[in-house]
Amino acid sequence: MKRWIAIGLVVLVLGGIIVYNKVLHPAPGAGPGGGEKGGGGKGGPPGATKGQTLSVNGFVVETQRLREDIVSSGSLLAAEQVDIYPEISARITQLNIQEGQPVTKGALLVKLFDADLRAQLQKLQAQADNARRTEDRNKQLLERGGISQQEYDIVTTNLRSSLADIELVKANLQRTEIRAPFSGVIGLRNVSNGAVVSPSTLIARLQQITSLKLDFSIPEKYGQSVRNGSKISFLVDGSSQPSQGVVYAIEPGVEEQTRNLRIRARINNTTAKFRPGTFARVTLTIQNEQSLVVPTQAVIPQTRTNQVILVKNGKAVFKDVKTGLRTAGSIQILSGVAEGDTVATTGLLFLKPDAAVKIGRVITLPNSNPKVATAN
C-alpha cells in the first residue's frame, strides 16, 4: 500500500511541473500549439545574409613617397693619422713641435744627435776621394799595360765600397730627422728637448682633419642598396642639426661574427667642426621613391602569398599581391593591383568571391612616415 502511495505522489509532482511549464508559463516564442513564432531565427552579421549587399569601407590605391632608413652607430676618424716614433735611439737636439698647431708636409719636427754620423761621413768621403784618384791612375796604367785587369778590378771595387759606405751613413743621418709625412695638425707631445728617445718612444701624433672618415656597419641584407656615392647623414653629441657625408668605400666581404657590412664615408671638415674619435649616429636612406600603397588592414595574409579584395562592378574580387615595405599604417604593393583600383578595408571576413558589395565610405592615408631599421 505504501508503495502505491509513493508512486502516486511522484506522478502528481511530475504532472504539476509539466502543467506549470507548458500552460501557466510557456516559453517565449511558443504559440498555443507549442510551435515557434514566424520570422527568421538567429541572424548573421549585418549585411551577411544571402542575397544582400555588404557595405564596406574602401580605399583607392594611390602612390606615395616611401622612404626606408637604416640607423647605425659610427665613429669619425682622421683622413690620415700617424704616431711619430724615432727610428733610432738618440738624444733630441731640436724639437719643432707646436702642440695643436698645423704643420706642412716635409716640415722638420724632431732632430736627433748626429755629430758622430757626420764625422763618419767626412771620413768616408775622404777615403772615397782617395779611392777615386787611385782608380784614375790605375786606369791609365791599364791602358798602357802597366797593370793587369785583375789589379784594376780590385781598385774599382774599393771605390764602389767606399761610395756604398757613404750612402749608408747618409741613410742613418736621415733617420736622425723626423719630418711630417703629410700636412695636418700635430697633437700633444710626450717628450722635451734634450730627452733621449728610442724606437719605442711616442713623440706625438699627427692627424689630417680637413676631411674625416666615418666608419659604420649595416646588416648584410641591405648591401645591394648602398654603393659608392650614396649620401648619408649623421648626428654627433652636442649638435642639433644633421651633417652630410658621401660613401666612398665598401668592405668587399661581410664580417663573419656580426654578418654586418662595413662602410666608410667621407666628411668635409674644413671648419674643424668635428674631431676624430667622435661617436656618430648615422642614417642611411636605402629607399626613397614613389610606390603604390594600401592600408595595412586591406591585406589578408595567406600561407604562400598575400591577398587584397578589389571592388569591381559591385563584386568582390580576390587578388594575390606582392608586398614590399611596411610602415605603421600602409603596405607597399609591388604587383597585383594598379593605381586607381579600389580595395576593401572592412568586412573582409564576411566577403566571398563574387559577393555583392558596395563602398559605404572611402578612406584616405596620411603621408607615410619613413621606416627606420636599426643596425646593431
pLDDT tens track for 39-48:
333 344 444 4
Helix or strand (DSSP H, E) at 149: helix 149-174
The verdict on 295 and 358 lying in the same domain is yes
Average predicted confidence (pLDDT) for the chain: 84
Q: Quote the domain boundaries for residue 335.
A: 54-65+289-374
Residue 255 lies in a domain: yes
The verdict on 268 and 299 lying in the same domain is no
The pLDDT, as a whole number, for residue 42 is 39
Q: E-assigned strands of the chain? A: 54-60, 62-84, 90-95, 102-103, 108-112, 177-179, 184-186, 196-197, 204-219, 231-236, 243-250, 260-268, 279-295, 300-301, 306-312, 315-326, 330-335, 342-344, 357-363, 371-374
Q: 271 and 311 in contact (C-beta within 8 Å)?
A: no
Residue 21 DSSP class: I
- Residue that the C-alpha cell 722635451 belongs to: 192
The verdict on 296 and 264 lying in the same domain is no
How many other C-beta atoms are found inside a 10 Å radius of the C-beta of residue 255? 12
Q: How many percent of the chain have pLDDT more than 70?
A: 83
Last residue of a domain, one of 232, 254, 288: 288
Q: In this model, does residue 369 exceed pLDDT 60?
A: no
pLDDT tens track for 50-106:
557 888 888 888 888 777 788 999 999 999 999 999 999 999 999 999 999 999 999
pLDDT band at 372 (very low <50, low <70, confident <90, very high): low
* Strand pairing class (357-363; 54-60): parallel
Tell me the helix, strand and coil percentages in the chain, rounded to 5: 25, 40, 35
Question: Computed from CA positions of residues 154, 158, 164, 165, in that sequence, does the dihedral angle turn out positive or negative?
Answer: positive
The pLDDT, as a whole number, for residue 334 is 87
Last residue of a domain, one of 154, 175, 196: 175
The pLDDT, as a whole number, for residue 17 is 65
